[in-house]
Every structure is written in structure tokens, then in C-alpha cells.
Structure 1
Amino acid sequence: MTTTIHTSPVRADAALTLSGVLASALPHDLHTAQGPTRYTVPAVFSRRPQPREIDLLRGSGVRQELADAGYSHIDLSVSDRRLLIGNTNLAELKSGLAHLVGNILAGVSAQASKERQDRTEELDALGMVEEQRLEFLRQAAAEIHFD
């Protein structure tokens, strides 16, 4: 018997969020005597981040926001559909860093969405101007008679 699971595709314009920590990718020796106290925690994105969102996550604004909140030692990077939260640990994430990262992602997602919307409106306006220009030329050409 074959089981088919139907999932709805996540829209590219949906807010970028994190669905959770990928526990299977944590260091294998966590909570042992030899285990690291700080490590990279991989978190799974709700969808593939767009290039502009990745640029914003790598930007100085995000680094400053982390530093202002007391997390200047944290490094955020993107690998495919994962946010890699470097130089941290699960306890630090639980005690407030996860909330901050969620807020940062919400801001990045909103900014990228606004920029896309602004660009779309600008292109629509330019398209309207071009259509008016072409209509003017059609009308001007139609007024030319060779009789």
C-alpha cells in the first residue's frame, strides 16, 4: 500500500519564518564531558529564502541588531533552507536569542516584501507610461494620410 502525502506549496511571498531546530544536525557529543559549550545551531526555514532576504540577513543592520541586544558573538548565515546560528547553544536560544532571531527574520521578510512591492508598482507605472507613449504614436501615425 502506498501512502501519498499532499502538501501545499509555500508561496515565495509568504513571510520567512523558522519552523524549528534541526536536532539531527547538532553536534553528536552535546551534553557530554567532551561536548562543546558553543556551536552552530541549524534552524529550518519555512521556505527557501530569496536572494534579497539573504543579503539583508548578512547585512550590517542585522549584525548591529544582534550586538545591541548583547549578542555580538552570534553569527547568522544561510545554507540552502537552513539558518545557521553560529557560536551559540540551545540554552541561549531558549533564553531569548530565538525570539530575537524570529523578530529579525520578520523584519528582513517585511523589508524584502516592501522592496518587491515598490519595484512592482514602479514597473507598473513605467509600463503605463510606455503604453501611453505607444498609443500616442499609434494615433499620430493613424493621422498620416498619403492621398
Structure 2
Amino acid sequence: MFDRRPQSEEVAALHSLETLNALSAAGYPSVTLHVSDRRLEIKNTNLDQLKRGLATFLADHLAAITEEIQKARASAQSRLASAAEAEGSRAAAIATKAEQITFIRTSTTP
């Protein structure tokens, strides 16, 4: 059981080919994972494999997935903040220039 509902990105990562490849590389080529609500279903394994290292591998893999997602979100937020700051600066510069413009009618002589 997860202690919270997994985020969609976490679920996608757990169901991904990368996770299958990581399991295979770690010596668990037949193990598959499936997230169902707040449960992680671990198939094609046994309690001995879990005790001998699969549980630790899964805990580390889950932590790495969550960390990657958090880093990606922080990076996206940073890019958005930078873009918003640049847009604010641009808008301020335009407002300053616009304030300097006056519409004055030229005098005409009859």
C-alpha cells in the first residue's frame, strides 16, 4: 500500500519500459508492477525475493521516480517564474514608453 494516492506521473513511470528494464537489470526480469488505486501489485515474485532485495530495490526505485518528478516540477516552476518575470519587465518597459507619448494637436494658422 502507498501512504498516499500515487500521482499520474508516478504511475506512468512504474508502468513504463524503463521500470521493466531496471527490474531486469537488477536481476528480476519476470517481475511486473501494476498500480491499482493505492496498491502496488507486484507480480511474478515471491516473499523470498522480496526479502532478499527486491523490496529494497522497489523502495529505492519509487523514491528515485518521485524525486525525478519533483525536480521536473521545480524546474518547470522556475522556468514559468522566469518567463513571468521577463513578461513583467517587458510590460513595465512598454508602459513607461507609453506614458511618454502625448497627443498634442499642432496649431494651425487660419
Fold shared per TM-score above 0.5: yes
Which residue of the other structure, out of 25, 28, 42, is the alignment partner of 1:68?
25
User: TM-score, structure 1 length as denominator?
Assistant: 0.67
2:49 is aligned to 92
1:112 aligns with 2:85: no
Once residues 43 and 49 of structure 2 are traced to their aligned partners in structure 1, the CA distance between those partners, rounded to angstroms, is 12
Percent of aligned positions with the same letter in both sequences?
37
Letter matched to residue 57 of structure 2: L
Once residues 3 and 22 of structure 2 are traced to their aligned partners in structure 1, the CA distance between those partners, rounded to angstroms, is 22
In structure 1, the gaps of 5 or more residues are 1-43
Count the aligned residue pairs. Answer: 104
The structural deviation recorded for 1:102 is: 0.4
Larger-Rg structure: 2
Once residues 94 and 8 of structure 2 are traced to their aligned partners in structure 1, the CA distance between those partners, rounded to angstroms, is 39
More strand by share: 1
Once residues 125 and 114 of structure 1 are traced to their aligned partners in structure 2, the CA distance between those partners, rounded to angstroms, is 16
In structure 2, the gaps of 5 or more residues are 105-110
More helix by share: 2
User: TM-score, structure 2 length as denominator?
Assistant: 0.88
The structural deviation recorded for 1:89 is: 2.0
Aligned-pair Cα RMSD in Å: 1.1
The structural deviation recorded for 1:103 is: 0.8
